[in-house]
Amino acid sequence: METRSDVTDRFWRWAQEELERRNLTWYAVERKAGLSGGAISKRVDNQPPTDETARAIAGVFGLPPEIVFYRGGLLPWPERTEPEMQELISTLKHLSDEDLDRVMIFVEALYRYYQRETEAEPTARVGEGGVRPEG
């Protein structure tokens, strides 16, 4: 059975790989996110990220916070997904690592675009283009 320590270790390994992929350092993440040096030092002690640290990392990486929460073990991975998501996941399993990297770059760019669009329209309601207000 996987322990909390296993999840935490896996999270910090994933975060380190993301840093390397993006040519960033932990210092740069701290600076860009406005975090204290102690926030990232949790990785050295193999402590799970706090909610604030996970949100900050998500912002610097340009990822939805939920992804970082799942990776950090702050949220359980959903057990069920919609049929379209299952189909997408099945398709992604057949791609090469290089193609998966390309897909991830595209998804991150699309997410950043979505963030800019929804910030420009604060009155958007659920059902209008799939926008879900945060709350």
- In this prediction, residues 67-81 reach a mean pLDDT of 77
> Are 66 and 105 contained in the same domain?
no
Task: Say yes or no: 14 and 66 in one domain.
Answer: yes
Tell me the C-alpha distance between 61 and 68, whole Å: 9
Asked if residue 135 has pLDDT above 50, the reply is no
CATH number at residue 9: 1.10.260.40
**Residue 114 structural domain:** 80-135
pLDDT over 50 at 75, yes or no: yes
Q: Are residues 103 and 135 in the same domain?
A: yes
More confident residue, 80 or 8: 8
pTM: 0.59
Higher pLDDT, 126 or 23: 23
97: left (phi over 0), alpha (psi -120 to 50) or beta: alpha
pLDDT tens digits along 28-45: 888 888 887 766 776 767
| Structural contact between residues 39 and 56, judged by C-beta atoms closer than 8 angstroms | yes
The count of structural domains within the chain is: 2
What residues contact 51, with CB distance under 8 A and at least 6 apart? Answer: 69, 74
Q: Are residues 60 and 94 in the same domain?
A: no
Average pLDDT over residues 50-74: 84
DSSP 50: P
Share of the chain above pLDDT 70, in %: 84
Same domain, 67 and 108: no
CB atoms within 10 A of CB 47: 14
Element (H, E) at 21: helix 4-21
Residue 84 and residue 45 in one domain: no
* Structure-block tokens of residue 56: 């900050």
Asked whether residue 134 carries a pLDDT value surpassing 50, the answer given is no
59 and 102 in a single domain? The answer is no
